[in-house]
Every structure is written in C-alpha cells, then in structure tokens.
Structure 1
Amino acid sequence: MSPTAALPPTAGRVRTVGASPVREILALTARPEVISFAGGLPAPELFDAAGIRRAYDRVLAEAPERALQYSTTEGDVDLRTAIAARQTALGLPTEADDLLVTTGSQQALTLLAVALLEPGDVVLVEDPCYLAALQCFGFAGARVVPVPTDDDGLVPAALEEIVARERPKLLYLVPTFQNPTGRTLPPDRRRAVAEAAERHGFWIVEDDPYGELRYDGGPVPWIASYPEAADRTALLGSFSKVMAPGLRLGHLRAPAGLRRACMVAKQSADLHTSTVDQAAAARYLRDSDLDGHLALIRSAYRDRRDALLGGLSATLPPGSRWNRPTGGMFVWAELPPGYDATALLPIAVKHEVAYVPGAPFFAGPPDPGAMRLSFTTHSPEEIAEGLRRLGNALDEGRPDRDRG
C-alpha cells in the first residue's frame, strides 16, 4: 500500500494574519454571569424586532418570487434609493447609482482591498485602528503604516510627513466615534485630510458605522463631502448599529470607476447580497420610523455612556486617563505606567468582568495600559456592578501589590 501524500499547506497569508483577539475574548467571556465591556455590540433588547418582522412578512406576502430570487450585484434599487435619500438629507448629495449594497460594511472594506491593493502597497491607518481593518489589509499583502493620533484623532502634520515619505495607495480611517477610541476628527482636520489626498494623490476610505449614534453636539461633515476629496473617497456605511447586525447589510459609496471595480470583485465573492434581507430593509425604511427608533437607541446609549463615565474615577487607578466620546459605543482608557491591560484581563475574567486590551489595535508600538470599554449592552445598574468588579480586579493586579 503506497504512503499517503501530505496535503499542500494553507496560503501564507492565512498563516501570517492572526485571528481577532476581540472575537477570542468574546468567546471566553460568553458566560451570562460575566459583565462584559468587551464587545462592540448593539443592545439586543433595543432591536425593533416587531417592525423588522412586519417588513419581512410584507415582502414575502407581496412579492415572494422577487424576494427569494437571485438579484443584481449592485443591490436592491429601492434600498439604494432609501440610502441615497438619507445621505442626501445629511448633507452628501447621493443617487442610488452611486451606491453598492454589500454584505455588511466589512465586505465593502474587503472589496476595496481587492480592487485597490497589490502586495506591498502602502496603506496608512490611524494608530490605534479598527482591528478588522488591520486583518483585511494584512490578507491583501499591504504594508500598513500607522499615523500618530492625539485626543482629537489623526494628526494632520504627521500625516503630511508620512505621506511624503511613504507614497501610500490609500488612507483608512473611522473619523466619527472611532473604533477603538470613540474619538471624532474635527472639521479642520477632515479638510486637511481631504487636501492632503488631493495634493499627494491617494485614496481615502472613510468608514462610518457609528455616525448616527450621536449623543452630544451637532453633526460633522463627512470627508467625502469636501470638494477636494469627492473624487477619491470611498464612504462605507452599515445598518448593523442602527437596525440589526444579523441582517449583514452595508453599503459603499464611491466614484464610478472604483465602484465598478468593487462590483466585479463582489461578483466573484457572493454574486450579490441576500435579496430577501435587502427587500425587507427597504420595506422597513419605507414603512417604519427609523429616525424615531434611533432616538430611543440614542437615549438609552447616552444613559449607559454616562453611567460608565461617571464611575471610572472611582474604578481606575490614580493617574489613569480616559476620554468622553460624544457618540458611538466606546470609551478609551489608559492606565498609568506599570499596568499591562493584556496581563490583567485573566484577573478581570476571574472577577466576572471583561474588557478589550488596547494593544492589538495598534499598528505601531502599543500602549500596554490602554483598554477599550464598550457601554452599549448593559443597563446603568449592570455597568455600576461591572465597574465594581473591574476595580477589584485592577486592585488585585496592581503592579506594586505585594505578592507575598
């Protein structure tokens, strides 16, 4: 009997790009007794399940032959029209034909990587950065270069210096309520980004999953709305945070040539996004009051954010810093020197509380004391208890504690 030949190995990109630490933490802390500040998840009790079910019932009763059939790659025209109307109302004139519906905005990012990046191309990212974007660019074989940030986000002067040196293909950023920091890039910096792209000739990928979750202040214009950036910006949006993530519905607004390239890439990935889910979302936007529902979500999340912020001074050790985001899902905290948030996580889990260490979000040297705290999935009372547990864990793991 001849020996069995070994199978070929998996692709090198799979071996070099690691799994998401956030996903692994969520799996470890799925026990119901754990109060988790780790996941950037919408609150499930706030889903408009009844309204979404009515939308599905309508499309399946009225046109099942269309809702259950193959569809066009571009996406349901009624859904694209509704998205275009919302973007136009928010200050970015948009037509249905400017949009491509995607299977979550994460797919939009993947399609852009396929359409734009060759192995070795330089991609600039905020530091820290959305973790799944780092994975996406890693799979594309790009060379990811971090751009320094401060409390207001990406630093324009640093961007200018790095662009001149690296000649990037694109800049990826989440300018509004950023993941992981919750920061919002001010208008003057947005204009500086747009002008740098025009002057130096790189693409901007503007990811905006959180923009409608604003609790304080007024809206800030999309980078895509600045004339300097209009012909070189891909704007990503999502229904995951405002309707339901299980629908896996996102959208991409991009100049015609890039949008066409992404459409071809999507044809090879999944042909099109789920027909029935698109039809139900379009029906929901027609029949229900999404803005009224968003007002309920914002009110609940504002209270939860305030509960988290109100308890941090009594929870975190002296010398800690944290921000006060005006929207989104995250607070970014930095423990004082000597603390290692990654090393402390097992102690926290033992105390039945969890967070995400900040280190994996950095493309450059990490801040070991950084942590991301999400406030959306727990009531103010649960947040208070979670902070009590976190305080006990941090006290147990403090660097100067006598271990005996």
Structure 2
Amino acid sequence: MIQKKTAFSLISLLFLLLVGCGGSDEVLPTLAPLVLLPSPTATSLPPTLDISTRPPESGISPSGGDGTASAQATPKPTVTPTPVNPLINISDPNPNQLLTLGNEVEVRGLVQMEADQSIVVSLWSSNGRLLTEVAATANEFGWQTSFMLPPYVSGAATMRANLLGADGSILFTYDVPVWLTLNKETATRYLEMFRPTINAKAVGGFNIFFDGEVLLPVNRTVTISIWADDCQTRVARQSFVLGASNRAVYWQGFVVVPQDLVGPACAVASTGEPGTENWREASVPINVLAPTELEARGVTIGNPPPDDEVFAGQELFLYGTAYNVSEGPVSISILMENGRVVTQTSFNTDYWGYWETAVSLPIDIQGLAEITVAAGEGDTFNESTTIIRVNPAPTPTPGP
C-alpha cells in the first residue's frame, strides 16, 4: 500500500504543475491512462539457519523405518598399543661370580615387559635342585631383588630370571652360571669337596676319586655320585660311613663311572636328605671320556692328598685310579729332596683301575718327598706326581 499511494501523489503533483503553467495557448497532449503497478507479493525468507548445530561428520546412516536420514557422529579411533616383545637379562651377578653362602646377594638386570607381567628369580644347583625363589621388582631402570644365599649347596649353580605372563606362564628365561662357596668360619654344618676339580677328566667304566671335608655329617654318612643328562639324572652312587667327631673331618671315596657314559656330567657329594634342614651338598662339572679316546689315559693319586704331612717311621697308605688300565701294572717311587729313594714298587690295578699299596717310611728321613705313580703300557702309559712333607719321627714317650 505504501508504494501505491506514492505513485498517485507523484501523478497529482505533475498535473498541478502543468495547470500552473496554463498561460500558454498550446493544447496540451492527452495524458495516457495511468497504469497500475502490480502489488508486490510477500515472499517468505528461508528459515534462519541454526549455526549452533555442527554439520554432520562423514557417515550418514539411514534411520530405518520412517525413511528419514539421521546423522551419526563416527567415534574417534582408539590407539592400540604395540605389544611389547618380552625380554629379560641378568647384569648382576656376573657369569661365574663367586658368591658366599649365608651372605645376601643382590640380583638385577634389564627387562622389556607389559604391566601385567611379573619377574621371578631362582637359584638352582647344577643337578637341578631349587635352592630358593623370590619375586623381583621392576623399576625405571630395569628390575632388582635381593635374598640370603641358603647354606645347603656349594659348587656350581645357576641364577635364573623368569619373565612370567599374567597367567603365570614363562615368557622368557635368562640364566647366569655362578659359584657358591662356603664360609667355614660361620657355618655350623657344611660339606666341602676338594676333588674332582672343575672339568676334571673321568673315563667310562673306571673309578673316579672324591675327597673333601665335612662338619657334622648326617648319620656320619657321605654319599658320592655321578649325574648325567645335563646333570639331571643320577647314574652312579656310593655311600660310606665316617667315624664320630664333633670337628670337621677329611673324607674320601671312589665311585665307578658307567661304562656307556660319555660327555659332560656332574660329580656330586652330599650328606643328609635333600630338602631337609641338615642336608648339605657340593657339585662340580666333569667330562667323561670313552675308553677308546686317546685322552682317556692317566693316573690319579687319591691318597696322600697334595701338601699332606706325615711322620717318619710310620706307614704311608697310597691309592688312586689308573684310567684305561684294567688289571694292568702300576709302579710307585718316593724320592726325598736330598735325592734319597725311599721306595720303588710295582703291582696291578683291579678291574675298575683302582690301585693301592702301603709303604713303611724309614725313621731317619724328613723334608719334602715326591711321590710318582706310573700306570699302563704303550699308548696307555701315563704318570702323576704329588708332593708331601715328612716330619721327624715322634719322640717316644718314656714308660712309667
């Protein structure tokens, strides 16, 4: 309506102006009829856009029943952590490190593990006896634990770290060989093995010599044995009873190595029942040769032990093993440091290479003496020596 009134007013104003100028005799042209302009039609603007609503992200799913489509926001992808490859090692103690029984030992290392995994550290004897087992704690630098070394077994042993899964299964194992040694100053009971020594030679079918020292053996009994199959199976055994004593005593004995045994093995000495409080044990690795090997020769002197002291005028008992000599010849000589030959004698071994003899020492000798034992003939010939000290004969005690 506003536009219509405006158009009419403009026409009226134009007419008045023309009339006002009517002094002229000119005939004015006839005005054309007015043309009415069409009324404008009200057109609705599009609905206001709600800018508070974010446009749907990619992925519009149809709604199902009413034919309309509904926009569903796609969930943000989750980050899946890369699984950790389970790994563990032992950095302390070092391989073949000497550890003293009765002392505390600290064990540590590096680890790569998940949060729900765990670490267990154990100590094993060379013949597969579990001596102790403890849990370890992981930290930002790796893992660590500590425990007291139990007093039961000396000699070769293994420190083991196991990385366990959440279900207790073993995911990774790391072993370090260690050596366990006695502290005889503080031990109230112990068993020590002098021989066989580490990686000593033995021959299948022949004796091997054991000796050592024991304090308070259970039932005064010491058992010596050979273990095969990675030292997990006992294949030979021999026991003997010692005299009663409240002090440490020297012990020695022999055991026959199985004829068909070849390769790495363990020599073990023990007293008492494994796992009990009074049980004590010692073990070392040895190497067993077949009788046909060239290295399967030699002779050992079991008694007297090296650096032993004896008295002049007394009987000296000698014995040992001749490897690869079955019922063959053995000769013995004893030479004093001043050049005097005390004795020279010969005899045969038994079927398992064992030999023994007794020598009466003269009453007028003293000083260092070298004992030489030779065994075998031809390719099997070999000899061994040891040094002992002969002290002056004891002064006779005068009678009453």
Output the TM-score relative to the length of structure 2: 0.27
Structure holding more helix per residue? 1
Name the structure, 1 or 2, with higher relative contact order (CA <8 Å, separation 6+).
1
Structure holding more strand per residue? 2
Output the TM-score relative to the length of structure 1: 0.27
